[in-house]
Amino acid sequence: MFSAYKVKYTFRVFDMRIPSDSDYASEVLVQTIRRLPLVLACSFIVKNPSDVFKPEYVIPQMLIETIICNNRKITQCEKSRIDPDVIWGVIYTSTHISKDFPYGRHFLENIVLPVIESNNPSNYCHCLASLFDISQPLCYEYESLKENTSCIFWEIDEEKTDEEKLKEQYGQSKMGYLEEKLKNAQFGMLDHIVIDCPDSGIVLDHAGTPINIKIRSSGPYKIELIDS
C-alpha cells in the first residue's frame, strides 16, 4: 500500500544528499565543501546487516539525535514551534543503489523527520501532521487490474539528455505508474492542532495587551482564558 504526501507549509531539512554538478557552482561551493565530510561520513553501506551494533550508523544517529534535542528545546522555551529557521530533519541519498533500479540518483532521495511532540492521544506528532496532506492509500495490484498495463513499450527520444531519458523510463515503470495515480488520489489531513506558544502557556499583562499567536489546526478549536 502506498500513500502520497503534499507539503502544506514550507519547512527546512539538512541537506545530506550526494552533491550534484550544480552544488559545485561558485556561489554555493563553500557550503558544499563544508557539508561534504558529514555527507561522506553518513553514506557508508552497512557491512554486516545482521549485526546488532552497526558502526556505520553512529554518526547518522548522532546527527538525528542533535536535531531531536534541538527540537525538544523549542517546545520547552519561548521560541516558536513554527519558526521558519527550525531544522525539521534531513534529506539524504540512499545507499541502496544498484542496477536493479536504473533511474538515477534523483529517485533515490529519502527524507527523515523525527517526532517533535508525542504527548497526545493520537499516537503521532501533531507538528509533523500539520505540514502535510496525505492521500488515501493505493495498492498497485488493484490499480493495475483496472487498466491494461501488460504491454508497455519504451519509446526513447535519442535527442534527449541521459537524465531526461531516465525520467521518461521511470514514468513508464510500475513505480512511475503508481506515482501518477497517487497525484489524482483523494487527499486529506490527520487531525492536529499546533499552538505557537511555550508549554507554560501565555500570560497577559494587566492592561490586557493583545498577543498574536499562530495556530495550525485540522478543524475548529476553542480558546479558554484561565484566571490565575
pTM: 0.67
pLDDT at 43: 87
Whole-number Å distance between alpha carbons of 167 and 162 = 9
Q: Please write the tens of the pLDDT for every residue from 16-62.
A: 998 888 889 999 999 999 999 999 999 888 899 899 999 999 999 99
pLDDT at 101: 66
Q: Please write the tens of the pLDDT for every residue from 115-155.
A: 887 777 778 888 888 899 999 888 878 777 666 555 555 56
Whole-number Å distance between alpha carbons of 215 and 212 = 10
Residue recorded with cell 553518513: 42
